[in-house]
Each structure stands twice: as structure tokens, then as C-alpha cells.
Copies of this chain bind each other. A is one copy, B any other.
Amino acid sequence: MNKKTKTAISPTREENYPEWYQQVIKAADLAEISPVRGCMVIKPWGWGLWENTQRVLDKMFKDTGHENAYFPLFIPKSFLEKEAEHVDGFAKECAVVTHHRLEQGPDGKLHPAGPLDEPLIVRPTSETIIGAMFAKWIQSYRDLPLKINQWCNVVRWEMRPRIFLRTAEFLWQEGHTAHATAEEAWEETRMMLDVYADFAENTMAIPVIKGEKSAGERFPGADATLTIEAMMQDRKALQAGTSHFLGQNFSRAQEIKFQDQNSTECFAYTTSWGMSTRMIGALIMAHSDDDGLVLPPRIAPKQIVIMPIFRNDEERSQVVAHCEQLKRELEQIPYYGRMLEVLLDARDVRGGEKKWMYIKRGVPIRVEIGPRDIENDSVFVGRRDQEKSAGMSRTEFIGQITSILDDIQNGLFTRALAFREEHTRVITDLDEFKAYFTPRNEEQPEIHGGFAHCHFVDEPEIQNVLKDLKVTPRCIPLADEPFDGACIFTGKKTVTRAIFAKSY
């Protein structure tokens, strides 16, 4: 039998990666495009991924001394305008509220009425409104550091939306902090990047490169933007989280001032950092295969699904009762900060159909139990990361479940890391660079080299080559030691290298 005809997802990754992505989302019932332009509907299985993201990150934020708060959805236009670069960066994608009611017109239809004196922008990010509050709350060095996080929705108008990756409305968290010194603010910026990298690698099993953005890729208004960059299976980069050192730009624009120990008035140093529902797109693209979603157990809404096998009502009640008992036992086992989450699907649906449903949804462990298994005190276990299922004793299964899950989690990370390393190359020659980023053939326009690690000088003139290739500098890796080389584009001497890639 031809392997190709067996895949649950069509097209496969090789055939058409962007379409494969949409089909994985559909098959796993994660989300849908909504009738509202550019906005998505996140369905329960997709929401479960975001709930876990929130739970794990929120604890990490609190453990690093942050408190949650909530700020207005709307930002007055004048607030956004206070920081010039900032408003320039977001002006083209602002949803603007101009009226505050609907009124019947002469045509009998409802029209916007009650024009606002000042238009309100649906927040694309909240530096300016949070900064305005910080300016009020901070008077003295004793009020610093101020470390706040907000979980919320934001809107950035998108002409070409893609579920999770690029939607007009998305959900995220945005951290905002103020500090007395540049050093402290830098330390915060670095620490939160580490938190993001830790989350991406240890919870989502996605290896990331920590680095600094080049000037052209910075957050509008930031002095520096740190980023974690991940490689997807089409070898493109995805920016998975950013942490910005804002220097005194926003504090000067918004008068976030404090009196230091000598009663001198100083501007605070601020930071901001965010991770969004985009991360779910990264999760999907990093691990999934041609049979659908593959979930690392630590982020999966359910680690295990139990499927009772029965032929008649009598068997059904016996087998289901047995499965419920197993579920209860498993739910007593601590796993990654809570208890194992187990789904029991006792619907009277054909076994194959049910099994494939959970393969497509990426549940890490499937357990099938029929009357024979009860007799033998065994369970039939399938792992999402392996093709073959196998029987094992019930006791053994319960005893080993967390190490099996760790094995899956680590396996996914290792595989993704190997993939990235396989498709990362140090390149010192511009022709090789161009060839590396040229698609292999026209039928697979997505397939190219991957990440290129090159010396470069961050000058506007290097943009021409990059634009043609649709490649950007993703980051200057923090782990890179400076060493002598020549800019691949200009030949100028430099000690700085960057990761170059096509990207989402």
C-alpha cells in the first residue's frame, strides 16, 4: 500500500505546506475563520491549548515578581501619537472607533451616530495607555520597579489573515515594567526573554534561538528588541515571543518620572514583552505530521484518551465501568504542575473512526480497552509519536505513564532541534546565500535551505538583496561570540553575525 494514500491530511507537507497547515487545523477542530473579516473563532480544543499556555506562563510571570492588572481596550488617538515611531508603526493597522451608538436614518436603516470628539483606537498594544497610568502611579524610587502583566485581546488590521499566525484580533499577554536604572530594565528584558525561551522549549518542545533584532526589525519605539526565533517544518522562521528594552523613549513621551534617593527627578526606564495566540500556530507547524496535529504532552488539553471497545450493551457497561476506574486512577497522578488530564470517549462510534479522530487531534496517548484486555488486566496503548500500538499490563502502564509522556515530550523537542540543525548553515559567500534561499523547484515553492548564519553589517543597503529573496535577518544570536569576518553583502569587516531566514 502506498504510504501517500494513507495520510489523514491532504495535501501533505511536501505537497503544499500552507494548505496542509489549514487542513491540520480543520481536522483537529482547533479554530475557524469567522464571518468577521480577519478574525478567528477559537474552538474548544484550540482554546485548551491557549488555556494551558496561560496557566504555565502566568505562573512563570508571578514567580518572577509580576502582578496582573487590566487596562482599557480603547486608546485615545492622542495617546498613540505621543511616541512618534510608535504611532508610525501601527497607524496602518488601527481599528478606529468613531461613533458610540446606532441610529435609524431616513432610509429606515441603522447608521453610526453619536460621533466621538476624539477617535478611539482598539489597542494594537498598550504601551501608551499603560504608560499613562504608570506616570500617575510612579512618584518615587520606592514605587519602582513596577512590574505588571495584562492578558487581553488586541487588534491589528490584517489584509491577509491566517489562522493563529496573522489575525486582525488576537489574544496575548503584554508585560509592562518600569525601573529606576537602565541596567535593571535590561535585566528584566533579558529575564523575560529567558522565560519565553523556557516556555517554548520546555512546555511546547519548540527549540528557539534567543537573539536581538536588527534595527529595522525592532518594535516601533524600542531601543532594542530581543526575540526567540523558531524553525517551522517548511524551514521558515517564526518569531515566537519578543521582549523590548524601551529605554526612556516612552517615559519621556509620557512623563513617567520619579524622584531618586537624592530627590532628583528622573525618567524611568521601561520594558514591554509579549507572547500571543500566534504561538499556537508555531506549535502546530513545529510538530504536526501528515496525519494531523501532534501535541507535546505538557501543552495538550488531554494527555490521554481512553476508548472502550465493546460489541453489545452488556460488554459496554462492563468495559466502560472498567475504563472509568482507570480514568480516576490516572487523574490522581501529578503531571507538570497539575494532575493528568484524561478523556474517556464511550460514544458508540466505529473504533477506527474514533482512533483517527484522536490521531488528528494530536492526543499523545490513546488507550483501547476491550473485554479481553480486562481479563488479561492489560491495556492497548498507542503513542501519537509512533506508528505501532502495543499491549502492556495495566499496572505497568500506570506506573510508567509519566515517563512515557516525558519520552514523547523529549522526543518531539529532539526531533525539532535536529531538524533545525540539519537546515541551518554557516554561509560566507553571497552566491551560496542566494542559492540557499532559492526554492528547489517550482512545484514546491516553499522548500528552500532554512536558516543561514552569516556575518553582516546592519546597513540599509543590504536590504536590496534580502528583499528579492524575501529573506530577513531574524536575530543576532545572544549565544554568538564575536569573531572576525566580512559582511556577506558588503564585504565590510565585522564581528557580528545574524540568522537569516524567510519567515512568518
Residues of A that sit less than 8 Å from B by CB: 32, 34-36, 39-44, 47-48, 50-51, 67-77, 79-81, 87, 91-103, 110, 112, 114, 119-122, 129, 132-133, 148, 152-153, 155, 157, 169, 171
Determine if B34 and A71 form an interchain contact, defined as CB atoms under 8 angstroms apart: yes
> A359 to B76, alpha carbons, bound, how many Å?
36
**A73: nearest chain-B partner, CB-CB:** B169
Cα A67 to Cα B50 with chains together (Å): 13
User: Known contacts A96-B98, A102-B96; is A35 also within 8 Å of B132 by CB?
Assistant: yes
Q: 10 more A-B contacts (CB under 8 A) besides A35-B79, A47-B67, A95-B100? A: A32-B133, A39-B74, A44-B67, A44-B68, A44-B148, A77-B110, A80-B102, A92-B102, A96-B102, A101-B157
| Complex: chain B residue closest to A68, CB-CB | B47
One of B32, B76, B98, B153 near A73 (C-beta < 8 A): B153
Chain B residues with CB under 8 A of A40: 72
Q: Please state if A122 and B119 are interface contacts (CB–CB under 8 Å).
A: no
Contacts A93-B101, A96-B112 known; A36 to B70 CB distance under 8 Å? Answer: no
**Judging by beta carbons under 8 Å apart, are A97 and B100 in contact?**
no
Minimum-distance CB pairs A-B, first 10: A39-B72, A44-B67, A42-B70, A96-B99, A91-B102, A36-B72, A96-B112, A100-B157, A98-B98, A95-B97
Q: B100, A94: Cβ atoms under 8 Å?
A: yes
> Nearest Cβ in chain B — how far from A69, in angstroms?
5
CB distance from A317 to the nearest CB of B (A): 21
A152 contact set on B, CB distance < 8 A: 153
Chain B residues with CB under 8 Å of A110's CB are: 77, 81, 87, 91
A133 B41 Cβ-Cβ under 8 A: yes
Quote the shortest CB–CB distance from A350 to chain B (angstroms).
14
Question: Given A99-B96, A133-B32, are A69 and B87 neighbors across the interface (CB < 8 Å)?
Answer: no
Question: How far in angstroms is the closest Cβ of chain B from A367?
Answer: 22
Given contact pairs A35-B132, A43-B69, A120-B36, A74 touches B169 in the complex (Cβ within 8 A): yes
Q: Is the CB of B96 within 8 A of A69?
A: no
A89 to chain B, nearest CB (A): 11
Smallest CB separation, A478 vs chain B (Å): 31
* A120→B98 CA distance, assembly (Å): 11
In the bound assembly, the distance between CA atoms of A44 and B148 in angstroms comes to 8
| Distance between Cα atoms of A234 and B329 in the complex (Å) | 51
A103 to B155, CA, bound (A): 17
Docked CA distance A157–B148 (Å) = 27
Measured between beta carbons, the chain B residues less than 8 angstroms from A120 are 36, 95
| Shortest distance between the CB of A255 and any CB in chain B (Å) | 13
Residues of chain B lying within 8 A (CB to CB) of residue A70: 41-42, 47, 50, 171
In the complex, 24 of the A-B residue pairs with CB atoms within 8 angstroms, ordered by the A residue number, are A34-B71, A34-B129, A35-B129, A35-B132, A36-B120, A39-B72, A44-B67, A44-B68, A48-B68, A70-B171, A72-B169, A73-B169, A74-B169, A81-B110, A91-B101, A91-B102, A94-B101, A95-B100, A96-B98, A96-B101, A97-B97, A97-B98, A98-B99, A102-B121
* Chain B residues in 8 Å Cβ range of A87: 102, 110
**A122 and B94: CB pair below 8 A?**
no
Q: Which residues of B contact A76 (CB under 8 A)?
A: 35-36
Name A103's contact: one of B36, B41, B91 (CB within 8 Å).
Answer: B91
Tell me whether B129 and A72 are in contact (CB under 8 A).
Answer: no
> What is the minimal beta-carbon distance from A300 to any residue of chain B, in angstroms?
15
Instruction: Please state if B122 and A97 are interface contacts (CB–CB under 8 Å).
Output: yes
B112 close to A72 (CB less than 8 A): no
Kindly state the separation between the CA atoms of A48 and B71 in the bound complex, as whole angstroms: 14
Closest chain B residue, CB of each to CB of A40: B72
**How far, in angstroms, from A171 to B152 measured CA to CA in the complex?**
10
Residue of B nearest to A45 (CB): B67
Q: Which residues of B contact A100 (CB under 8 A)?
A: 93-96, 157
Report the Cα distance A112→B68, complex, angstroms.
32
